[in-house]
Structure 1
Amino acid sequence: MKILIIEDEVKTASALSRHLHAMRPGTIIAGAIQSVEEAVLWFNRKEPVDLVFMDIQLTDGACFDIFKSVKVEAPVIFCTAYSEYTTQAFKNNGIDYILKPFTQADIENALLKVEHFSSFFQRTAQADTRLLDLLKSISGEKQGKTSFLVFHQHSYINLSTSEIKYFYKSLTGVFAVTDESHEYPMKESLDEIQRLLAPRDFYRINRQYIIAFKSIQEVQHYFDRRLTVTLVVKTAEKLIVGREKATSFLHWLGDR
């Protein structure tokens, strides 16, 4: 899911980005914009996004001036400290309205609201195709890359994604690991790999590891509300899911 953040407070934009990555691994933040002028330039370039989080008051005016200047095709979740603009917001692509200071639960509820509409639009013959694509993406229906081109034993081979148990990053590079702990060096960064994978099949548990659902053998509670994960193949170090991702990870495990 590709999301644009339009927010003039840098700390708020950063917090929103962290929440989105924690709740929906694989989310791509297309940009963080602070003004009406920047937003108009962005949308005039016709760079497609799936969803927009938008503040009301920006550095150079109200966000509604954006809609007067350019067509915004993506649905918008308004995130603001002002409660008096709800009617105007829902007249301008608004799908939800969150009041600051927001919590992770507020963001989760807004995303769930978008997901709720998914089933409705899927049953409606006249549903907007673009919105359907967004909702399917949020629901984790992205197909993902089926193979990676890797250089192994002096030859290039296509390594099937279905064979990969996990990816990891070390001081010497990024590697894919398959059955019997065979390792293949990757030319892509771990961030790039995360964007290419199907979110339903792979989860980035921390900065070093992306693991496959089918490779998980056991998950246990760890101290300080963290989790440990054991895979069907050995890893060089203990796999730990931080407490900020634990709830999202368990939701991913159970969402089958």
Structure 2
Amino acid sequence: MRIVIIEDEIKAAKSLAGMIAKVRPAATVETMLHSVESAVAYLSAHEPPDLVFMDVQLADGLCFEIFKQVKISSPVVFCTAFGEYSMDAIKSNGVDYLLKPYAVADLEAAFEKTDNLRNFFQQKSAQPDWQELIKRLDKNEGKTSFLVFHNNRYLTVRTDNIAYIYIKYDAPYIVTFQDQKYIISQTMEQLQSQLSPRQFYRLNRQYLVNFDAIKEVEHYSARKLALQLNVVTPEPLVIGKEKITQFLQWMENR
């Protein structure tokens, strides 16, 4: 089995390749690509691989741009933190997904499903409707509200009123535009998967920010960016060099 990995984080790509080697020793990872541009160039010039592992957010934009520029005839396993609605959309088109962080059991299940659907993908009439998939994924708006418990009461916090979410003492806190803070009993990964990836961006392990909360972005140093929000944050928000391109693409592609 010939495999192509499209993942902008080099460490994540190598880790996935290592897991693949353990789960499917006979499989060959032909290449690891890190951007929309490099993926389009490679897939346009080479025979379709047997399987593609594709991250949704790449260094120069969302992976959906790849499908608009080159025909994909291979089954695709998406690697993503998208919400459940997107996962249903992907599954309904005969592909699978890995929810980050990866687990070996999830990878094994993805291979098993791909094996079962191999004949499906080989039939022209059964090719997945990528354009419909793209439309459905692009419309992912995430949850509209979260239920929180505060001062012995259950309150509803609208998602569009969340300025940012941050971790304090290993617990996530929702912070509204009115600077109200609510602890929530979910992990940061669970929260991220339920939020619109167009509206919220994961700066680092500790912070998820709402696009509407960003007041300005400036160069912090030659290799970093500093964010200033419309609300006060417990500490300065800095984006490292490895995420600058992806962040600026997120800011632009809206």
TM class, shorter-length: 0.5 to 0.7
Q: Indicate yes or no: 2:31 matched with 1:79.
A: yes
Partner Cα separation in structure 1 for residue 21 and residue 224 of structure 2 = 35
Distance 1:133 1:190, change over 3 A: farther
Find the counterpart in structure 2 of residue 249 from structure 1.
247
Find the counterpart in structure 2 of residue 100 from structure 1.
none
Partner Cα separation in structure 2 for residue 92 and residue 172 of structure 1 = 41
Q: How does 1:40-189 map to 2 (within 5 A)?
A: 59-60=25-26, 79=31, 89-90=47-48, 92=50, 112-116=65-69, 130-136=129-135, 140-189=138-187
Instruction: Answer yes or no: is the 8 Å Cα contact 1:165–1:177 preserved in 2.
Output: yes
Distance 1:141 1:243, change over 3 A: farther
Q: Secondary structure at the match of 1:198?
A: coil
Task: Tell me by how many angstroms 1:183 deviates.
Answer: 0.2
Instruction: Answer yes or no: is the 8 Å Cα contact 2:214–2:228 preserved in 1.
Output: yes
Distance 1:244 1:111, change over 3 A: farther
Distance 1:59 1:211, change over 3 A: same
Q: Secondary structure at the match of 1:33?
A: helix
Partner Cα separation in structure 2 for residue 62 and residue 117 of structure 1 = 23
Q: Secondary structure at the match of 1:219?
A: strand
Partner Cα separation in structure 1 for residue 148 and residue 139 of structure 2 = 26
Task: Tell me by how many angstroms 1:33 deviates.
Answer: 2.9
Find the counterpart in structure 1 of residue 89 from structure 2.
none
The one-letter amino acid paired with 1:18 is: E
Distance 1:255 1:167, change over 3 A: same
Distance 1:95 1:212, change over 3 A: closer
Of the two, which has the highest radius of gyration?
1
Distance 1:17 1:91, change over 3 A: closer
Partner Cα separation in structure 2 for residue 206 and residue 94 of structure 1 = 27
Computed over aligned residues only, the root mean square deviation of the Cα atoms, in angstroms, reads 4.3
Task: Tell me by how many angstroms 1:127 deviates.
Answer: 10
Distance 1:225 1:145, change over 3 A: same
Task: Tell me by how many angstroms 1:172 deviates.
Answer: 5.0
Partner Cα separation in structure 2 for residue 112 and residue 203 of structure 1 = 19
Task: Tell me by how many angstroms 1:148 deviates.
Answer: 1.0
Distance 1:147 1:191, change over 3 A: same
Partner Cα separation in structure 2 for residue 21 and residue 201 of structure 1 = 24
Which residue of the other structure, out of 201, 223, 226, is the alignment partner of 2:224?
226
Distance 1:229 1:141, change over 3 A: same
TM-score, normalising length from structure 2?
0.58
Q: Secondary structure at the match of 2:141?
A: coil
Which residue of the other structure, out of 11, 22, 34, is the alignment partner of 2:21?
34
Task: Tell me by how many angstroms 1:18 deviates.
Answer: 2.4
Distance 1:134 1:18, change over 3 A: farther
TM-score, normalising length from structure 1?
0.58
Instruction: Answer yes or no: is the 8 Å Cα contact 1:148–1:161 preserved in 2.
Output: yes
Instruction: Answer yes or no: is the 8 Å Cα contact 2:166–2:206 preserved in 1.
Output: yes
Q: Deviations over 1:162-194 (max 9, x none)?
A: 110000011151100002311011111111111
- Where does the alignment leave 5 or more consecutive residues of structure 1 unmatched? 8-12, 23-28, 39-57, 64-77, 81-85, 97-103, 119-125
Partner Cα separation in structure 2 for residue 202 and residue 232 of structure 1 = 15
Distance 1:223 1:145, change over 3 A: same
Partner Cα separation in structure 1 for residue 206 and residue 227 of structure 2 = 14
Distance 1:189 1:109, change over 3 A: closer
Identity %: 31
